[in-house]
Amino acid sequence: MICALIAWAVGAVCVGVCGGRLLRMRTKAHEAEQLLEELRRSARSGRPFSESESASRLLPALVKASTHDALVAEFNEVLADVSRELDVGAALPASAGRIALMTGTLLAVIELIRSLPETGPSIGWALGAFCGGAAVALSAGLMGRVSDREAARSRAAWNEIGRELSPRSGPA
């Protein structure tokens, strides 16, 4: 019985960690889209991008950049941070699913071994431990798909921000 409870507890932690990361990725994607919209609005209105609320909150170093080269360097730093965050966010659900499934399987085997000398194998509790891991693995897989979509959404917004910040090169 204790093995099944431990498997479900580990699964709950894995789902909680995945859910927290997914929420953070959704927030990051929304912030990037909001920043892009403010950048486009400021370009249309002619006011400086540095005056926008999102820019000063999300990209303080970019707002303070005095030259185009400094802006590019700061933007590259921001992109590296965003890329790292998105890579971790995409990898976390798969890792959590594997952890939960392996924990559930191991604890199911332990439950079977532990109960053998007594009255025979405790199939019900072993199955409960394994099902806990399997259920979390499936949930983590679904969260992984959503994380991948959010990562793609965020990357697309950041690519557009980069295009909007780059100087327009017209015909010579």
- pLDDT > 70? residue 61: no
**Distance in angstroms between the alpha carbons of the first and the last residue of the chain:** 76
Structure token digits, residue 121: 């194998």
Asked if 146 contacts 89 with a C-beta cutoff of 8 angstroms, the reply is no
Structure token digits, residue 21: 């990361």
- pLDDT > 70? residue 168: no
Whole-number Å distance between alpha carbons of 132 and 105: 9
- pLDDT > 60? residue 169: no
Q: Which of 148, 144, 111 is nearest to 8 (CA)?
A: 111
Long-range contact set of residues 28-34: C-beta below 8 Å, sequence gap at least 24? 28/82, 28/85, 28/86, 28/150, 28/154, 29/150, 29/151, 29/153, 29/154, 29/157, 31/58, 32/82, 32/154, 32/157, 32/158, 32/161, 33/153, 33/157
Q: Which comes out higher in pLDDT, residue 163 or 18?
A: 18
- Fill in the amino acid letter for 111: E
Question: What would you report as the CA-atom Rg of the chain, rounded to the nearest whole angstrom?
Answer: 24
- pLDDT > 50? residue 172: no
Structure token digits, residue 123: 């199939």
Average pLDDT, the chain: 83
pLDDT digits (tens, 9 = 90+) for 131-144: 999 999 999 999 99
Whole-number Å distance between alpha carbons of 93 and 78: 24
Whole-model pTM?
0.75
16 Cα distance to chain centroid: 13
Name residue, tokens 């959404």.
153
Residue 39: its pLDDT value, please? 80
pLDDT digits (tens, 9 = 90+) for 67-116: 777 777 777 888 888 888 888 888 899 999 999 999 999 999 998 888 77
